[in-house]
Structure 1
Amino acid sequence: MTRYLAPLLIGLVGAAILVALGIWQVQRLAWKEGIIAEIDSTIAADPQPLPQVVAPAEQRYQPVALQGEIGEGALYVLVSVKRQGAGWRVISPFTTEDGRRVLLDRGFVPAAEKDIALRTGPAEVTGNLHWPDDRNSATPANAPEDNTWYARDIGPISDALQTEPLLVVARKIDPADERLQPIPVDSAGIPNDHLQYAITWFSLAAVWIAMTLTWIRKQAQGKD
């Protein structure tokens, strides 16, 4: 029996570690789902006025309602939209009725329509405050001279359009510019891979147990 002790001990310890990792990922899944549910609740809440003091950590996804005027000029951020392909996010200055000037993400136009004339003037906007994290190590540098941006870098964009560093991503603009398709803030882009990780760890535990049983069987048959 002593010859079975080593494979049995290694099998039980290894399987226990892998199962524990799977359980941890299940716990992480519940935690992440709670965060996403809270974000969805925030996004869908009643619109509020623009905050007077900007606090990104507290105000991310906050719904807002604005009345004012869409100004001249726009910046174009290269994006890809599912089932539509490459195109541009259009960001314009928006001046509120009380004189504040903020960034307005108006939505998407296909790549070939970058030079279309855009509607300006009075508008009512509902949307969400956002501080997007578009940039990673592979994101090219913006090319403001060509009005080609690769990330919604709020600081440089607000400097270029002479606005507050405050971005409202439109959910609805009235009157609408039919050439623009709003891309509202949602939680779809927030990664939540914990279920796949849990399945991977549990699968590895099953494989580990199967390998241990094979090892023990070979020991019983007198094989190395």
Structure 2
Amino acid sequence: MTAPHADRDTHLPPKRPVLRVVFAAALAIAFLGFTTLGVWQVQRLAWKRDLVARVDARIHAVPVPAPTRDAWAGIDADNSEYLHVRVVGRFLDVPTTRTQAVTALGGGWWLLSPLQLDGGEIVLVNRGFVPTGETAAGPPTGRVQVTGLLRLDEPGGGFLRSNAPGEDRWHSRDVQAIAEARGLPADRVAPYFIDAGRDSAAQGWPRGGMTVVSFRDHHLQYALTWFALALLTLVAGAWLFVSERRLRHHRRQLSTGTDHGDTPRRR
């Protein structure tokens, strides 16, 4: 009479409460992690849109005097990048620095020349773009006013390409390295450069006003991805809960059937 009971028990699914608890805890942790990342990306999206709005306002604002030496330490991307500025001074008689560039006009060079301001500070000015093979005019002589966009230093070089000051080969507008290569006093060189605006009266090269202002903004896509993954963990958790209930119900049915089967019948 006990053999049938043993046979039925062998068909019951094994109990694994510890494994189920670990799996549920992992889902809960994953849900919290994905949700946190999604919220963070939403916050980054708000920050990026605010930054774009501020930069757009700076670009189209009336030019203001460029930051002087006492304000250099406080310059950063949030408060100064793409600020519409003006400077007055004289270009120094040093070789123009050519940095590799790719623009809407094709490949070529940015031309950077140091401008000494009336107060003694020195600011590198990106006078504009010249295509490869074209001849560019030198910087103007005498006292000049330059208006343009304030840009932050680009140290090191470009993607997978390092600057080589000893060979006068430049892949980025590395202010400190260029100043050192040209023998400029480091304490007087501004930690930024200026992209000069387009001079409609100028003929030939270089051509100013070719700054491209763009920001990568994939935060919404990232946020949706993280929230979708959080939703999937909820679905997995719901599946685990439903499967557990079905398993328990199945166990009860098998147990009830076994008990009835073991009860001897009277004839």
Shared topology, TM-score over 0.5? yes
Aligned CA RMSD, in angstroms, stands at 3.7
Q: Contact conserved, 1:36 with 1:187, CA < 8 A, in 2? A: no
Deviation at 1:142, TM superposition (A): 2.0
| Amino acid across the alignment from 1:78 | Q
Q: Identify the residue that residue 210 of structure 1 maps to in structure 2.
A: 235
Candidates 29, 34, 37, aligned match of 1:18: 34
Q: Are positions 1:117 and 2:136 aligned together?
A: yes
Q: Describe the SS at the equivalent of 1:208.
A: helix
| Amino acid across the alignment from 2:136 | A
Q: Identify the residue that residue 148 of structure 1 maps to in structure 2.
A: 169
Q: Are positions 1:197 and 2:222 aligned together?
A: yes
Which runs of structure 2 are paired with 1:91-130 in the superposition (5 Å)?
A: 91-95=112-116, 101-113=122-134, 116-121=135-140, 124-130=145-151
Percent sequence identity is 27
TM-score by length of 1: 0.72
| Amino acid across the alignment from 1:138 | L
Q: Describe the SS at the equivalent of 1:46.
A: coil
Q: Are positions 1:165 and 2:189 aligned together?
A: yes
Q: Describe the SS at the equivalent of 2:110.
A: strand
Provide Cα deviations, 1:166-195, integer angstroms capped at 9, x if missing partner.
322112336424333335556414x44422
Unaligned regions of 5+ residues in structure 1, if any? none
The structure whose RCO (Cα within 8 Å, separation 6+) is larger is 1
Unaligned regions of 5+ residues in structure 2, if any? 1-16, 251-267
TM-score by length of 2: 0.63
1: CA distance, partners of 2:244 / 2:207: 67
Deviation at 1:160, TM superposition (A): 3.8
Candidates 27, 36, 46, aligned match of 2:62: 46
Deviation at 1:149, TM superposition (A): 0.7
Q: More helix by proportion, 1 or 2?
A: 2
Query: Is the radius of gyration larger for structure 1 or structure 2?
Result: 2
